[in-house]
């Protein structure tokens, strides 16, 4: 079960509500952020794979899985599926990955009206990638290429009628993965 990377999902204000004395007007810096985890997985084998992703985290009190959404895309269509939680581990399975195919997996806070009103989701942890028991037993030494990144959208008022008042901006950065992104699954 190779470790892939760390992850962080956010739907929160960028700055704390209360700042230490000496901070002036930081309104222009005080936007909100919706940040998700993006994982690209390529099957470089001559056979199909069935994979599971396991997210290990400690969710803050009051946060439920209903507030996090997941999507996979291997054919140009986003397919939503839930995470299944047991203790502090949340599994996404099955992820079907045909030979020579590349999948994009997305984990992000659900931007519902209620979530945008409360702006109170913050979770981080690490990700494991493993062969799913639903896929039989592929040959030993099956390998995949992975790229992990965080992508976020900063916003002021997400529902402002004038787009300039929404103060939109984006950020994207790659996360370190072991072995240059070439993972061996056993």
What DSSP line would sit under 132-182, residue for residue? -GGG--PPTTEEEEEEEEEEEEEES-TT-SSGGGG--EEEEEEE--GGGGE
Residue 140 has pLDDT above 90, yes or no: no
103 pLDDT band, cuts 50/70/90, is very high
User: Could you tell me which residues are beta bridge partners of residue 13?
Assistant: 32
> What does pTM read for this prediction?
0.89
Mean pLDDT of 32-37: 94
Q: Which domain holds residue 144?
A: 3-185
pLDDT in tens, 21-32: 877 766 666 788
Cβ contacts of 136 within 8 Å, gap of 6 or more? 50
| Number of structural domains found in the chain | 1
Residue 178 has pLDDT above 80, yes or no: yes
pLDDT in tens, 40-88: 999 999 999 999 999 999 887 777 667 888 999 988 888 888 899 888 8
The tokens for 71 are: 């999507």
Better-scored residue on pLDDT, 137 or 4: 4
The tokens for 42 are: 């390529």
Share above pLDDT 70 across residues of the chain, in percent, rounded to a whole number: 94
């Amino acid at each position: 079960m190779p470790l892939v990377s760390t992850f962080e999902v956010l739907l929160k204000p960028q700055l704390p509500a209360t700042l230490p004395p000496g901070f002036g007007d930081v309104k222009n810096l005080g936007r909100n952020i919706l940040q998700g985890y993006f994982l690209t997985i390529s099957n470089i084998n001559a056979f199909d794979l069935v994979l599971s992703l396991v997210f290990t985290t400690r969710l803050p009190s009051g946060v439920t899985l209903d507030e996090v959404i997941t999507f996979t895309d291997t054919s140009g269509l986003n397919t939503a599926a839930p995470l299944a939680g047991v203790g502090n581990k949340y599994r996404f399975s099955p992820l079907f990955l045909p030979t020579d195919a590349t999948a994009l997996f997305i984990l992000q806070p659900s931007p519902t009206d209620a979530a945008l009103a409360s702006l109170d989701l913050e979770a981080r942890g690490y990700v494991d990638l493993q062969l799913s028991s639903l896929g039989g037993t592929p040959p030993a030494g099956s390998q995949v290429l992975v790229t992990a990144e965080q992508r976020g959208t900063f916003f002021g008022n997400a529902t402002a009628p004038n787009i300039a008042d929404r103060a939109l901006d984006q950020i994207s950065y790659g996360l370190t993965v072991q072995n240059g992104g070439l993972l061996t699954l056993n």
